[in-house]
Amino acid sequence: MTQQDFLSKINPTRDKMYRLALRLLISKEAAEDATQEVMMKLWDRRQKIKEYANLEAYAMTVTKNYCLDQLKLKYNNNLRIVHQNYESNSISLQKEMEVRDELSWVDRIIRDLPEQQQIIFQLRDVEQYEFEEISEIVGMECTAIRVALSRARKKIRESLTKKHDYGVKRS
């Protein structure tokens, strides 16, 4: 079979092959590539084309199978990419131990604060009460609460800084 004979038999089906590929692959570029690849496969099998009663049905079947194979490959490649980029949201054991240690240090520091500062820190920074609500609970003025909270935060910050800087020389 000559190239001219082949093209005269396949060209009427080419648009249908492209539309099927476009329907399955969605991308115009992918559909064009698929149509071209199927045309190459059909050219390689040009000697057997005479055996098929309905050349259009055969070309459409080859196109469908090629597109489905491409979708399977794309799906598998995407799975591999997702799997390689997957990051667990769980905290590593080492990080979890560091967080627990830090929280226990903060807890010890808070316990060393005067009782009034402990209560105000707990109500404001942990329970997230507003200053007016804290004022009602502890019976203090808002400005006094702000001062006590500032002192508590400063003591916690200084103690943590001292802990973290332990053994580090400052020049």
In CATH, what number is assigned to the domain containing residue 123?
Answer: 1.10.10.10
Say whether pTM exceeds 0.85.
no
C-alpha R_g of the chain: 37
End-to-end CA distance of the chain: 88
Q: Which of 8, 7, 4, 60 is nearest to 34 (CA)?
A: 60
Question: 121, exposed or middle or buried, with CB in 10 Å at 0-12, 13-18, 19+?
Answer: buried
Structure tokens at 91: 């905290």
Percent of the chain with pLDDT over 70: 89
Both 74 and 102 in one domain: the answer is: no
> Of 50, 85, 120, which closes a domain?
85
Both 21 and 42 in one domain: the answer is: yes
Structure tokens at 126: 């942990």
Both 101 and 63 in one domain: the answer is: no
Q: Report yes or no on 40 lying in a domain.
A: yes
Looking at the structure of the chain, the number of domains it has is 2
Q: Report yes or no on 171 lying in a domain.
A: no
Chain-centroid distance, C-alpha 7: 47
Both 31 and 75 in one domain: the answer is: yes
Look up the CATH number of the domain holding residue 27. Answer: 1.10.1740.10
| Whether pLDDT at 85 is above 60 | no
Domain of 64 in residue numbering reads as: 3-85
pLDDT in tens, 9-37: 888 999 999 999 888 888 899 899 999 99
